[in-house]
Amino acid sequence: MLYRVLGPTELPGQTLAAKPRLVALLLLTGGRRPVSLDLLVDEVWPRHPPASAVANIRTYLSQLRKLFPGRISSDSGGYRFEVAEGELDLAEFGALLTAGRKAAVDRPEAARAGLRAALELWRGQPFAGEPVGPVLRARAAAAQDDYLAAVELYSELLLRGGEPAAAQALLRATVSEHPLREHLRSLLVLAHYQGGDPAGALLAFQDARSVLAASLGIDPGPELTAIHQAVLRRDPRLLPAAEDSADRLATPFQLPPAVADFVGREDEITRLTELLRRSDPVPGAGVTVVIGGMAGIGKSTLAVRVAHEVADLFPDGCLYADLQQTDGSAVPPERVLGRFLRALGVPGEALPGDPQERADQLRSLLAGRRILIVADNATEAAQVRRLMPGPGGALLVTSRALLTVPGAHLLELRPLSTGAGVALLARIAGRAAVAAEPEAAAALADLCGGLPLGIRAAGMRSASLPGPALGRIVARLSDEHQRLDRLTVGDIDIRASLALSYRRLSPGALDLLRVVSILPMRTFAAWLPAALLDVREPEAYSLAEELCDAQVLTRAGGERYGLHDLVRLSASEQPGPPAGELIAAAGRAYLAAALTANRRLPGRPMALPAPSAPVPEAGATPVEWFEDELDGLRALVPLLAGAGQVELAARLATATVNFCVLRGRIDDWAATHDVIPAGTPLPAATAALLALSVGSLFRFRDDNQGALPHLRRSYELYRGLDDAAGMAGAALGWAVAEQQLGHVGEAVAAFERAVALLPVLDGTPAAGYIQLTFRQPFSSSPEEENAALGRALTIFEAAGDLWGAAEAHTFLAAGHRRRNQPAVAARHAREAVLAYTDLRDQMQLTVAEIVLTDAYLELGSIDQARVLAGQCFARATRIGHRWGIASARRAAGRIELLEGRPAAAAELLTAAEAGFREMGLIRPAEQTHSLLLQALR
């Protein structure tokens, strides 16, 4: 062998350091599958990889390429170590074991020779002495399991061949190293008995019982106990001649053929094969694995694929049964058990009538035998419990229901990625078809939601059409009303497959499913269906969990749930209230919840009404609530507007504004407002709030000219309603927009309208925002401005308005900077930066950091200013904040000017001035122009 890992590692050539050697071992033992960089990093540094981990791995790979020329290859999936047949002892051991298992039934001599050769390769614990990580540790454990399986099978063959002494010698040595492995103990008892030493057999049993009791506190399992009883009664079937008797069990192989166009699921296949290769988890129990997932996701296909992959590990046979009838009901247990018993050679007339007796008989026949059972489409845990294997066996189950099976390993299948979906489509529709229309292929996979059954149906339909057909299929599937019809081809019927999942649901769960299927949210929490079904939230939560257990809903993190697109379309066809009624009810529920959450936000620059109906406060913080629900709100507003519920749509849109301001989510703010039809008659209060929100949106987009008509209209509407807080908000926005445009007279007049309301609003956040605006040109002196901002800060801190307090610190910083007090300015700016960072308001954080940058420049801290200016420019560019981009360029230009690079400064300042003028911001443009003139001198 050129490469030896079964024991201390032996690699040809120079000695490698530990970490490069681990990389070599991971690649060497990876088989044909590529090993990713991430996996290599995790293996070499399982806990805390250094920042240079990837670079280090690449260095190790370079070393390996030099040491092993032509052996290390790579592709998009990772790296491989090319090993020829017979060069790696681990691979050779596995091949000999596989061949031995296959030959054991009808060619025992060949099997013995192969297994003897395999055991000669074993020098001890794989990778002995290496600092292995999780993957190599798992491979070593799997190899150890294979070694024990080889010892057991070789011993069985020696006993069948009449060589009990040789079997005894091997078994004694192995039992001393693995004293808790009962099958080894059973074979040792049998070897003593077949060697003419029944007393030694009984002593071997007593030793096994003592060790199990002392180590685990348990009695011997069924296999060891049965052999002990047989020794006591000198059962002739213990002798080798029994192998050829008529009582020998059949070796069934019932697996359906694997699907030829299977693609993807590499991680799942690896996980399942590792689980099924494991030795018994505890004495007396085999391995049980359950594959869960929604209808059509490929559970059965994967199970059969994996079963074929591991079939050679189960030389005593593979049993298969579909546990679900065509109507979705469970196949009677006596039918499944009878089928298995007959496959094992039990005559029909010898079958017990009682299902439990059949289960007991099956368990007895399977004891000590390495048989794999595939139980497809289980509908309840009781079906699985009847089939759970004993020592040496394994049970692989698929189910669209959550099965509570003790000791079972659960693997949840997720939809295919777009790439895997396209690969499956290429297998069905043809590689040429996918290559001709790659974008349509990706769109088709996404329209099927990554569901293999849907992709298969769409691919078959495409293959039946002449010419390039994927684009045409995509066009048809894009119509949601036709999608399920188009995904029915031959015996593939997505609608029928999904409908089977609904048959075992309670009426309440069906109602909840219908309700959420009509709504546009990608995810939802239990409070929403609770409001729509008029039930308590705990009841809605229980119903949602029932749907998750049935694989109809998915858990989307926390206590939120998701609905696959095809399930949504299928469920929306179920009977229930009209869709329009449900959408309106959802709008009302969301409005009440949003207004309730708004009242607890850490900043409320826009005064919103209280909820019309009391809503229990959510467990999440109000900011978290909006983060979770904003996508649903965005999707619901246009549905409401399109359904004629324009007032409700407008109220719901404006209920999100304070959150959008706090988080700088201007695009989300715009998305909810742009869909409200202009000119629709609305109640005055709703129209006033909508106009204020739209005008404020224009201001945040740096379009002060566009903001003015909306803010003026809002003020007039609020004045007609005698709403002081609304009037103040509109007048302040109006004043700031005029001031930014250089219209000083109009700005002061609008501001005075707000100031006139101070006596009515004294002490409220609205008064704080008025005080916040007492600055140039609205204040008569720097002292008046500073005092007003101090009063605003006091009001906001008392009201818990963190955003308003951050604004006050920002304006205090700007004022102190103008008064040549950069140190005080920097202190206030840092307070604002901390607050905006906590609030995650990217836009206002940029504003505060620009002020801090200017303060640093005036303090001579150019390096700190340069870092901040770069951060501001990058963030402002990312979020589309035009003022931030122009201001960051101006700050960067000042830095270049201070450091004696006038040409670079001129370029930055020219761009900054153009940006300010494009926004209509005259004063900042003129200030920037003055700096530009300095650069051009």
Which pLDDT score, from 0 to 100, does residue 811 have?
A: 92
Which pLDDT score, from 0 to 100, does residue 865 have?
A: 93
H/E run at residue 388: none
Structure tokens at 688: 């006033």
DSSP state of 646: H
Checking phi first, is residue 886 left (phi over 0); if not, alpha (psi -120 to 50) or beta?
Answer: alpha
Cβ contact 4:18 at 8 Å: no
β pairing state of 409-412 and 72-75: unpaired
pLDDT tens readout for residues 413-446: 888 888 888 888 888 788 888 888 888 888 888 8
Domains of the chain by range and CATH? Answer: 266-412 (3.40.50.300), 418-498 (no CATH), 685-761 (1.25.40.10), 812-936 (1.25.40.10)
Which pLDDT score, from 0 to 100, does residue 617 have?
A: 57
Which pLDDT score, from 0 to 100, does residue 839 have?
A: 86
> What's the CA dihedral at 182, 188, 191, 192 to 10 degrees?
-130
Residues of the chain with pLDDT under 70: 1, 13-14, 105-106, 241-250, 260, 279-285, 326-328, 349-350, 368, 467, 490-491, 493, 613-620, 776
Identify residue 228 by its one-letter amino acid code.
H
3-state secondary structure of 555: strand
Which pLDDT score, from 0 to 100, does residue 250 have?
A: 62
pLDDT tens readout for residues 144-184: 888 998 999 899 889 888 889 999 899 999 989 899 888 88
CA–CA–CA angle 642, 647, 652 (5° rounding): 90
**Phi, psi (rounded to 5 degrees) for 513:** -60, -45
Does the model's pTM come out above 0.85? Answer: no
Cβ contact 171:201 at 8 Å: no
CA distances from 49 to 26, 63, 517, 847 (A): 17, 20, 44, 37
DSSP state of 607: -
Name the nearest CA neighbour of 450 among 554, 564, 291: 564
Burial group, residue 759, by CB count within 10 angstroms (0-12, 13-18, 19+):
exposed
CA distances from 256 to 80, 305, 338, 401, 889 (A): 32, 9, 19, 22, 68
3-state secondary structure of 821: coil
CA distances from 932 to 492, 820, 904, 919 (A): 71, 21, 11, 18
Rounded to whole angstroms, the Cα distance separating 354 from 412 reads 34
Range 490-518 burial, b when 16+ CB lie within 10 A, else e: eebbbeebbbbbbebbeebbbbbbbbbbb
pLDDT tens readout for residues 812-852: 999 999 889 999 999 999 999 999 998 888 889 999 999 99
Mean pLDDT of the residues in the chain: 85
Identify residue 258 by its one-letter amino acid code.
A
Which pLDDT score, from 0 to 100, does residue 421 have?
A: 86
